[in-house]
Chains A and B, each alone.
Chain A
Amino acid sequence: MDILRFITAGSVDDGKSTLIGRLLYDSKSIMIDQLEAIEKQSKNKEDGEIDLALLTDGLRAEREQGITIDVAYKYFSTPKRKFIIADAPGHTQYTRNMVTGASNSDLAIILVDARNGVVEQTRRHSIIASLLNLPHVVVAINKMDLVNNSQDVYNNIVIDYAEVATSLGLMDIKYIPISAINGDNIVEKSPAFPWYEGESLLHILENVEVANDINYTDARFPVQYVIRPQTEALHDYRGYAGKVISGIYKKGDKITVQPSGLESTISAIEIGGKEVEEAFAPQSVVLHLNDDIDISRGDVIVLKDNQPSVENELDVLLCWMGNKPLIPGNKYLLQINSRVTRAVVKEIEYKLDVNSLLKEPAPEQAGLNDIVKVKIKTASPVPFDSYKKLRVNGGAILIDETSNVTVGACMIQ
């Protein structure tokens, strides 16, 4: 049993909340008291139907203030897998919300209303999924009951979407006809679509290969904390605590510390206090080195024969999340894993139209939800990999030093 993290992309009108409610309900993750609470609120109580969409309903503060919190997390599991749903609300701030939710997801379910087919919003969601480099996409063509479960309607949408997918270079795409409200093709394969040869949505979610998405080649270990007990018995103990974000480390491996470039050899590896021969992503471990060299939080330990880029000028695709606009020349803090460095956004090269993927001329400022290509200069060299190649070491955030707020998501090119 492992974990699949996925995001659902679509608006309330596409039946997103109903779909999530349905997955939770049919996988028996909704408890009686929670069901009673939504029964009380269900608008269509007369016909005895529960409005499953209410399961993902917002907080009172959101309703009162007319805001949405970027992501709510929902959990369910089957004997095969534990699932974590990042439920990002739609509407105006969708780009920011979806970028946030997608940043640690393995898969996106993109909902298409069968009556409307591939629309602008479908393109936008797909573009974000591709920018965030999501390994898997499931296109769920919903409300099939409203188009008489028509195979022709379904096929035409698949043909339309395939074009979008090709232009974006999306990798693993699966298509499925569903009716979230009726539960068709959600948990069990439905007789409503005798022409559909694939599996149910839950079956797809249970069987998507995610272990292969982990990169075991390019070993990266950002140091989070140095453990030094300094007791008599452990006088010389010096362990580098962190998470192997990619790759494999073995005892005896020759390593380089970046950005200093210092070299040493791994003398021991500990997991939960026990010594092991090797550690791999995404384990949290403690590394010991043969030489007493200067290493602190924010440094990255890599294998000597597989180096990341180490630079202080970065080409970045930036999703702006701040309420105040991004002004070129402004200084921010750039945080990539455990490393924080001062940074200045030097120039905006162009703005990306998230509906068409066309490059628009560089605006003077970038606003909330804009995706722009920028050049960032950092005060000290940053060890990184291109986001396309290695998500875990190519994503960074920008922090406004005066408000401390996270204002940007950087995908380093």
Chain B
Amino acid sequence: MSQHRLDYLDLLESESIHIFREVAGQFERPALLFSGGKDSIVLVHLALKAFRPGKFPFPLVHIDTGHNFQEALDFRDHLANSIGEKLIVRSVADTIKEKNLTEQKGKFASRNALQTYTLLDTIEEFKFDACIGGARRDEEKARAKERIFSVRDEFGQWDPKLQRPELWNTYNGRIHKGENVRVFPISNWTELDIWNYIKRNEIELPSIYFAHDREVLEWQGQLVATSEFIQLDETDKVSVKKVRYRTVGDMTCTAAVESTASNIDDIITEIIATKTSERGETRIDDRVSEAAMEDRKKNGYF
């Protein structure tokens, strides 16, 4: 039976495609939340495998905080264009204006919390009943307990008490009007799985994932790109370093890592050798408190 063996990437891929098709089969108006980061790029790739030669049964949706890396935005447009799928962009800046929201202040004033408002408005505007996202359970301990089909109430809130038992490969996506489901097809993938899959399938990525020269601020052991979105003080140490990004989020809360890795093989070598977790090394927003992610998820965040 040796010719009938699948390796771990084939198994993960098949599971994810199965989840994508369950979304297509169970929901009326799904959406794929697309950020331009590597995890959502892999999601798009999996969706191509799940639905081609048909069209995606959902649009790509990007909640643009206005603090994104230009490279990620360009790549977003390029990818949506090249696969010929619909892209919906909604802007956090617009929500702030319309709803008179108060922006965070301080050195790394982040719109991370505010993007939840735009996300919930967008869900309401298009009456989305399922939002597919690229969260992985290995990222963080609140994520480790997330179901693959995660039911949210009409305020987008994740209530650990409402989590449905998820048995076998049977997904219960039934909801009441107003509720929606967040679906995570790559729940069981780790960071390294993602990179190995990108390598095997020769998936194109935004350039910021590879080593490049960038002006950065050294802040509590992390390297934060200088930009119009962060405040520099006179005492700040700013220099040009060779860096790459391990995750791509907002410029205000994503840190770079020093690296000379200019191709996927070098990146994989570095990831295997690294002693710091993906979020620990690159996310300023998870450092606030031990339960930072848990709190944001409960408020409707991914």
Q: Which residues of A contact B298 (CB under 8 A)?
A: 61
Q: How far is the CA of A1 from the CA of B54 in the complex (A)?
A: 32
In A100-159, the 8 Å CB interface with B consists of 100, 103-104
A378-410 contact mask (Cβ, 8 Å, vs B): 1 or 0: 000000000000011001110100001110010
User: Does B126 have its Cβ within 8 Å of any Cβ on chain A?
Assistant: no
User: Does A336 have its Cβ within 8 Å of any Cβ on chain B?
Assistant: yes
Q: How far is the CA of A228 from the CA of B55 in the complex (A)?
A: 9
User: Does A229 have its Cβ within 8 Å of any Cβ on chain B?
Assistant: yes
In A287-342, the 8 Å CB interface with B consists of 297, 321, 333, 335-338
Are B21 and A99 closer than 8 Å at their CB atoms?
A: no
Q: Which residues of A contact B141 (CB under 8 A)?
A: 57, 59, 72
Q: Which residues of A contact B18 (CB under 8 A)?
A: 224, 242-243, 284
Are B277 and A31 closer than 8 Å at their CB atoms?
A: yes
User: Does B86 have its Cβ within 8 Å of any Cβ on chain A?
Assistant: no
Are A84 and B188 closer than 8 Å at their CB atoms?
A: yes
Q: How far is the CA of A191 from the CA of B132 in the complex (A)?
A: 50
Q: Which residues of B contact A361 (CB under 8 A)?
A: none
Residue of B nearest to A401 (CB): B174
Are A404 and B172 closer than 8 Å at their CB atoms?
A: yes
B1-30 contact mask (Cβ, 8 Å, vs A): 1 or 0: 100111110111111011001101100000
Q: Which residues of A contact B169 (CB under 8 A)?
A: 104, 243, 245, 337, 392
Are A82 and B193 closer than 8 Å at their CB atoms?
A: yes
Known: A31-B275, A33-B277. A75 touches B137 (CB 8 A): yes
Q: Which residues of A contact B262 (CB under 8 A)?
A: none
Q: How far is the CA of A72 from the CA of B145 in the complex (A)?
A: 5
Q: Which residues of B contact A69 (CB under 8 A)?
A: 145, 160, 163
Known: A31-B277, A84-B188, A337-B169. A405 touches B164 (CB 8 A): yes
Most interface-central of B24, B49, B164, B167 (chain A CB within 10 A): B167
Are B165 and A2 closer than 8 Å at their CB atoms?
A: no
Are A404 and B175 closer than 8 Å at their CB atoms?
A: yes
Q: Which residues of A contact B167 (CB under 8 A)?
A: 99-100, 103-104, 395, 397, 406, 409
Q: How far is the CA of A332 from the CA of B209 in the complex (A)?
A: 49
Are A75 and B168 closer than 8 Å at their CB atoms?
A: no
Please tell me the number of chain A residues within 8 Å of chain B, measured between CB atoms. 71
- Complex partner residue of B25 from A33, A104, A228, A338, CB under 8 angstroms: A338
User: Does B176 have its Cβ within 8 Å of any Cβ on chain A?
Assistant: yes
Q: Which residues of A contact B22 (CB under 8 A)?
A: 224, 338
Tell me how far the C-beta of A382 lies from the nearest C-beta in chain B, rounded to whole angstroms: 13
Are A211 and B1 closer than 8 Å at their CB atoms?
A: yes
- Complex partner residue of B144 from A73, A229, A391, CB under 8 angstroms: A73
Are A59 and B53 closer than 8 Å at their CB atoms?
A: no
User: Does A67 have its Cβ within 8 Å of any Cβ on chain B?
Assistant: yes
The tally of CB-CB contacts under 8 A between chains A and B is 176
Are B172 and A406 closer than 8 Å at their CB atoms?
A: yes
Known: A71-B145, A321-B165. A273 touches B53 (CB 8 A): yes
Tell me how far the C-beta of A393 lies from the nearest C-beta in chain B, rounded to whole angstroms: 10
User: Does A367 have its Cβ within 8 Å of any Cβ on chain B?
Assistant: no
Tell me how far the C-beta of A171 lies from the nearest C-beta in chain B, rounded to whole angstroms: 19
User: Does A44 have its Cβ within 8 Å of any Cβ on chain B?
Assistant: no
Are B165 and A409 closer than 8 Å at their CB atoms?
A: yes
Tell me how far the C-beta of A395 lies from the nearest C-beta in chain B, rounded to whole angstroms: 5
A54-94 contact mask (Cβ, 8 Å, vs B): 1 or 0: 00010111100101011111110100011010000000000
Are B280 and A59 closer than 8 Å at their CB atoms?
A: no
Q: How far is the CA of A306 from the CA of B160 in the complex (A)?
A: 43
Are A229 and B55 closer than 8 Å at their CB atoms?
A: yes
Q: How far is the CA of A57 from the CA of B188 in the complex (A)?
A: 19
- Complex partner residue of B187 from A1, A73, A399, CB under 8 angstroms: A73
Residue of B nearest to A30 (CB): B277
In B138-177, the 8 Å CB interface with A consists of 138, 141-142, 144-145, 151, 160-161, 163-170, 172, 174-176
Tell me how far the C-beta of A67 lies from the nearest C-beta in chain B, rounded to whole angstroms: 6
User: Does A262 have its Cβ within 8 Å of any Cβ on chain B?
Assistant: no
Known: A273-B53, A399-B172. A284 touches B137 (CB 8 A): no
Q: How far is the CA of A37 from the CA of B280 in the complex (A)?
A: 10
Are B6 and A282 closer than 8 Å at their CB atoms?
A: yes
Q: How far is the CA of A10 from the CA of B277 in the complex (A)?
A: 28
**Chain A residues proximal to chain B, CB less than 8 Å:** 1-3, 31-34, 37, 57, 59-62, 65, 67, 69-75, 77, 81-82, 84, 96, 99-100, 103-104, 211-212, 214, 216, 224-225, 227-229, 234, 237, 239, 241-243, 245, 248, 272-273, 280, 282-284, 297, 321, 333, 335-338, 391-392, 395-397, 399, 404-406, 409
With contacts A72-B145, A284-B18 known, what are 19 further pairs, Cβ within 8 A?
A: A2-B8, A31-B274, A32-B275, A33-B281, A60-B290, A65-B161, A67-B160, A71-B166, A73-B145, A73-B188, A81-B8, A103-B167, A224-B22, A248-B4, A284-B15, A284-B17, A297-B25, A336-B170, A397-B170
